[in-house]
Copies of this chain bind each other. A is one copy, B any other.
Amino acid sequence: MSIEAQYSITRGDFLLDVDFSMPSRGVTALFGPSGSGKSTLLRAIAGLDFHPQGFLKVAGETWQGDGRFAPAHQRPFAYVFQEASLFAHLNVRSNLEYGFKRVPPQQRHISVERAIQLLGLENLVARKPETLSGGERQRVAIARALCVSPQFLLMDEPLAALDEASKREILPYLESLHDSLGIPVLYVSHTLQEIARLADYLVLLEAGKVVAAGPVPQMLTRLDLPLAHSSDAGAIFATQVAGFDQVFHLTHLDFSGGRFAVPGMALKLGQQVRVRIAARDVSLTLEHQGSTSIQNIFPAVVEELALENDAQVMVRLQVGDAPLLSRITKKSAAELDVQPGKQMFAQVKSVVLLA
């Protein structure tokens, strides 16, 4: 826990009043509905706005507080704005080089060429921003932020304007940012899927207040938080690659509760990987059923139930030592007599590999 932030900010009727800390490694998601103060907070952390009632300490270094306020350009952060905000007077390459040139050579982790390649900008380098499509613009903005080799990356919904294919291409690199470079990222988003995939830690903001904060797997399965009740709700598991099915191109992932079989064979034996299981992809049965296309079936113990609405319940189960969510109808719950403590089988239709 070594990034500490504390701010009290007033904007018209809106009051942002937060005091939280987050790990200085990995991706921390800042999650909250529109207008909850995410951008306001990110700007304060970046040093773009000065708020006297503020304190910020990153990895032992105080950026605001004790009478000190470091201006934005002295903070070793990079910022991807909610709108691409490219420099209109520079072409794409010069936009990328702008920050790159201002970083001392020995501090550079990534070259302009690499950023171009990572974000697929090869054909755009000579173009001016006004000729780019919305998604192209945002890709350039991300590449530009990477080019300052930041020690801390602040991203304000950077993928909102991208199509799924582009997102899929960019996400792995964003992931590798903290894996290979150890750059912590503070990532604003309102898509749970993105957060589940990218984030290790989650700060939940609502109407200017931090409602809860904690590691993503716990946060996602807490039935007292809204996260476990969104249509995308799901659980995250830490697993290890245990082997492969060469014939069907499957990878076996072991965790405390059993073994997953997931499509693909891109991982290495023994590698640690996280998987996400959406609540809507988990069905419950009383017996272990055969002759089904569902490959992943685990014994599970019901821990807690919460009403979703008149017709559905969310069930938290324990599988091994990890929590699992399952959204089922009240009718099924009644028919199967789902209750805390009950032994059941969880059928997992689909497992999403995270980084």
> Chain A residues in contact with chain B, CB under 8 A?
11-13, 32-35, 38-39, 82-83, 123, 127, 131, 133-136, 139, 156-157, 160-166, 190-192, 230-232, 245, 247-250, 261-265, 280-287, 289, 291-295, 308-312, 326-334, 336, 338, 347, 349-350
Contacts and interface: CB of A to CB of B under 8 A. Distances in A.
Contacts of A347: 283, 292
Contacts of A82: 134, 161
A145 to B, nearest CB: 17
A293 to B, nearest CB: 4
A189 to B, nearest CB: 9
Contacts of A264: 309-311
Contact of A284 (B35, B192, B293): B293
B249 A310 contact: yes
Nearest to A132: B35
Of A33, A131, A135, most B-chain CB atoms within 10 Å: A135
A280 B280 CA distance: 10
A272 to B, nearest CB: 20
Of A123, A131, A191, A263, most B-chain CB atoms within 10 Å: A263
A93 to B, nearest CB: 16
The list of the 7 closest CB pairs from A to B, nearest first, reads A34-B135, A263-B311, A163-B190, A248-B331, A249-B310, A249-B311, A293-B332
10 contacts: A134-B156, A134-B157, A164-B192, A261-B331, A263-B312, A264-B309, A265-B311, A282-B349, A283-B294, A293-B338
Contacts of A311: 248-250, 262-265
B292 A131 contact: no
A232 B331 contact: no
